[in-house]
Amino acid sequence: MANGPYLRVRVLGAAAGGGFPQWNCACACCTLARAGDPRASPRTQDAIAASADGERWVLLNASPDVLRQIAASAFLWPRAPRHSPVVALALCNGDVDHVAGLLSLRERQPLTLAATGSVLSGLFERNVLLRTLQRFPGQLTRVPLSLGHATTIAGLSITAHGVAGRPPIHLRGVVAPRPEDNVALEIAAHGRRVLYAPAVASLDGLPSLDAPDVLLFDGTFWSSDELVAQGLAEARAEDMGHLPVQSSLGALAAARARRKVYVHVNNTNPILVAGSRERLAVEAAGCAVAFDGMELDA
Ligand SMILES: [Zn+2]
């Protein structure tokens, strides 16, 4: 890392919805993790923390595990009787595994929430529970993100890029799908750039994967038929809005990013197991599999 100010990036949770192990799953990976096998470290549900100064942090996605993630991260602990270094959140989409943590961040703490208009309306016009974050003026300041336009929050430049995906399951049939339902977030500060894309259904329309200092990419499934082959579900990866690692690995191998990391990894994905054939293929392509607590400062 060069001298001078830098962009702090930490993985709070590396697993997809359900976490790892998942409470109701005894697939091969979950069984290893539950047994305490050192090859299969447990992981909480998808979220990243970023900061331009180490004092004010922005959470990228509000994981259902956010309280455990804060408890495990000293840099997110309060520094006064009523205080939090967490000043804002930015959302990639309205999926439950990316928004449920909002309900755990009440306790009269002022926060800024940045997301696209369709994600904000899905949250606040379709959901009375989130009124708990509107108990007093200034509790939650909503910042709409327009696709392709940078917004500065706590010294971080945040840009949402629309990527192929699916609207949240709970909104299907309720609202019409829109291009801003699912975004990759580009975070920049001090001339460093991070691209965080935990849900990508297709490489078409993606912003360039070249030259961000850190690329965090959808690692939900290894193969299209992962859940089908294991008898766990009937949907293919692409039907669930996730390009399998097998289909993105070539593009990531060719990308000129300094660190290339798969995030949002589903508990069924064999890349979670150190030394597996699939993990070795990821590592041979110059990529890594995220784990909770991973430091990716740029
Ligand atoms: Zn499992």
> What tens digit of pLDDT does each residue of 12-70 get?
999 999 999 999 999 999 999 999 999 999 999 999 999 999 999 999 999 999 999 99
- The answer to the question of residue 32 being in a domain is yes
Q: How far is CA 180 from CA 16, 147, 173, 177, 215, in A?
A: 21, 7, 17, 9, 20
What digits encode the pLDDT tens for the residues 58-115?
A: 999 999 999 999 999 999 999 999 999 999 999 999 999 999 999 999 999 999 999 9
Residue 74 phi/psi, 5-degree rounding, is -55, -30
Distance of CA 203 to the CA centre of its chain: 17
pLDDT value at 287 more than 70: yes
1 is a domain residue: no
- CA pair distance 131, 124, nearest whole angstrom: 8
Domain membership flag for residue 45: yes
Tell me how far the alpha carbon of residue 177 lies from the centroid of ligand 1, in angstroms. 30
Res 175: pLDDT: 85
Q: Per the domain annotation, does 129 fall within a domain?
A: yes
Query: Average pLDDT over the chain, rounded to whole?
Result: 94
d(CA 59, CA 95): 15
Q: Which domain holds residue 238?
A: 8-289
5 cis-preceded (ω within 30 degrees of 0): no
Q: Which of 5, 111, 95 is closest to 57 using CA atoms?
A: 111
Q: Ligand 1 centre and the CA of 221: distance in Å? A: 12
The packing angle between helices 277-284 and 245-254, to 10°, is: 20
User: Which H or E element spans position 28?
Assistant: helix 28-34
CA distance 216 to 214: 6
Distance of CA 183 to the CA centre of its chain: 11
| Rg, C-alpha atoms of the chain | 18
Angle at 228 between CA 225 and CA 230, to 5 degrees: 105
| Spacing, Cα 133 to ligand 1 middle (Å) | 33
**Residue 97 maps to which CATH number?**
3.60.15.10
Distance in Å, CA 4 to ligand 1 centroid: 43
Tokens 């703490």 locate to: 109
Confidence of residue 174 (pLDDT cuts 50, 70, 90): confident
Distance in angstroms (rounded) separating the CA atoms of residues 61 and 45: 10
Q: How far is the CA of 60 from the centre of ligand 1 (A)?
A: 25
As residues whose CB is below 5 A from the ion ligand 1, the structure lists 22, 25, 27, 30, 267
Contacts of 124 (CB under 8 A, 6+ apart): 130, 142
Q: Mark 246-266 as b/e (b = at least 16 C-beta within 10 Å).
A: ebbbeebeebebebbbbbbbb
Distance from Cα 84 to the centre of ligand 1, integer Å: 34
253 C-alpha to ligand 1 centroid (Å): 27
Residue 66 domain flag:
yes
- Give the distance (Å) from ligand 1 centre to CA of residue 272: 11
pLDDT at residue 219 tops 90 = yes
CA angle in degrees (0–180, nearest 5) for 200-288-277: 95
Report yes or no on 130 lying in a domain. Answer: yes
The total of other beta-carbon atoms located within 10 Å of residue 152's CB is: 12
What's the CA-to-centroid distance between 56 and ligand 1, angstroms? Answer: 35
C-alpha dihedral sign at 214, 44, 183, 52: negative
| pTM for this model (two decimals) | 0.96
Residue 209, in any domain of the structure: yes
Can you tell me the distance from the alpha carbon of 197 to that of 115, in angstroms, rounded to the nearest whole number? 14
Separation of 266 CA from ligand 1 center, angstroms? 8
Inter-residue contact 43 to 72 (CB < 8 Å):
no
- Percentage of residues in the chain having pLDDT higher than 70: 99
First to last CA, the chain: 7
Q: What is the tally of structural domains in the chain?
A: 1
Residue 234 resides in a domain: yes
279 and 253 Cβ atoms separated by less than 8 Å? no
